[in-house]
Amino acid sequence: METIQTTELLLHKNIAIVGGGPGGLTLARLLQQKGVQVKVYERDFSQAARVQGAIVDLHFDSGLKAMEATGLMEAFKANYMPDADKYRILDPKGNILLDEGNQAGKPDFGNPQFRPEIDRGALRDLLIDGLLPGTVVWDSQFVSMEEVDNKWEMQFKNGTTAAADIVIGSDGYRSLIRPYLTDVKAVYSGATIIQGEIDQPETACPDFYQLVNQANLMAMGNGATLAAQPRGDGGLTFYAASMYPENWEKDSGIDFNNTEEVQHYLIDHYENWNPVFFSLFKACQHFVPRPLNYFPLENRWETKANITLIGDAAHLMPPNGEGVNLAMLDALDLSSCLTNTCFTSLDDAIAAYEKIMFERAAPLCKETIEGISDFAAPTEESIQDLIKMLS
């Protein structure tokens, strides 16, 4: 990796990034390019410990912009999934309302409209491959930390400890770094999704698998949404979304560890839908309820010179296609501020980053919350608006 000498602000400083998702790994790569000493502490036991989930699309002015800055764009192009960026929208009867994959004049790299998809695991692997050996410290589930002699002393669940001058929380919506900056808690959006994973959909639910056709599928109507995405390993991830009261997953009486019970609930909930969707529910053997929460961004924390947050740890919001992209753009902006010779103190550099981050995330979060019912309980009007936007 070609590096340049780091700025005075980070000279002899050790940076700890807690969380090895796309945002944290992008930040580590960008900082190492500037000669910064950085470690990434990841709770996973190893790089191959678990499937990373569905595919993710990178956007021209955020995820792809950050990827370009890492110098790993060629690796990205070698690993992305061509033609997986299409959308297919269905009604509850299974009729196709939009089949974006059949449209002419598809954009490509360099076009602002192009949003290439990549398997989350492949994205993580290429970012890890771009780091110096030993940068990621596996099996390091963060427990707590305290300031000792102007350093953070961190403790991990496996009994190990580590010291850092600056700690950056990239540990997602359940961030354990966030409480060291703010006590603002997440708020319920009004919507909940039931997530399912199917490892071999081609044989487990072949009719639905053919309906997906390697697209981002959304079936919408009757006050509910069913979304499905292919995984890079051939599996499928799906989300059954509706508007529910707060704490519904606890108050519903449904045992989400009982597969048949959840299957029966979903079949009843989507009772007027095409039976092809029921085959999806019957093929799934593991369900997870996920209330869609968000952090109110009007409540901002006081900047500190030795700790900050990126990604969902900083600005959790319901799914809107921007999560990974925002985390990677946060990484780009934070690395730029920390290594910018215009700043004379770490406090100023981090404050400048946080201003950019908050001002970018707040309107997106507001827009997402205001439109949450259009996603989880769509009307005919909102479905037609979505089709127009994607056409």
pLDDT in tens, the chain (391 residues): 655 555 778 988 999 999 999 999 999 999 999 999 999 999 999 887 766 567 888 999 999 999 999 999 999 999 998 877 788 999 999 999 998 764 445 678 888 888 898 988 899 999 999 999 999 999 999 999 999 999 999 999 999 999 999 999 999 999 999 999 999 999 999 999 999 999 999 999 999 999 988 888 999 998 999 999 888 788 899 999 999 999 999 999 999 999 999 999 999 999 999 999 999 999 999 999 999 999 998 879 999 999 999 999 999 999 877 889 999 999 999 999 999 999 999 999 999 999 999 999 999 999 999 999 999 999 999 999 888 887 7
Cβ-based neighbour number of residue 1 at 10 Å = 10
Q: Tally the C-alpha atoms within 13 A of residue 329's C-alpha that lie toward its C-beta.
A: 21
Residue 120 assigned ligand-binding role: yes
Domain with CATH 3.30.9.30 in the chain: 189-293
* CATH superfamily, domain at 8-81+118-184+296-372: FAD/NAD(P)-binding domain (3.50.50.60)
14-18 and 166-169 strand pairing: parallel
What pLDDT does residue 16 have? 98
Which region, left, alpha or beta, applies to residue 110 given φ > 0 means left and ψ of -120 to 50 means alpha? left
What pLDDT does residue 214 have? 82
Name the CATH architecture for the domain at 189-293: 2-Layer Sandwich (3.30)
pTM for the model: 0.92
Which region, left, alpha or beta, applies to residue 371 given φ > 0 means left and ψ of -120 to 50 means alpha? alpha
What pLDDT does residue 190 have? 96
CA 292 from chain centre, in angstroms, equals: 13
Residue 312 assigned ligand-binding role: yes
Residue 57 assigned ligand-binding role: yes
Domain with CATH 3.50.50.60 in the chain: 8-81+118-184+296-372
What pLDDT does residue 201 have? 94
CB 238 within 8 A of CB 266: no
What pLDDT does residue 136 have? 97
What pLDDT does residue 104 have? 45
Residue 50 assigned ligand-binding role: yes
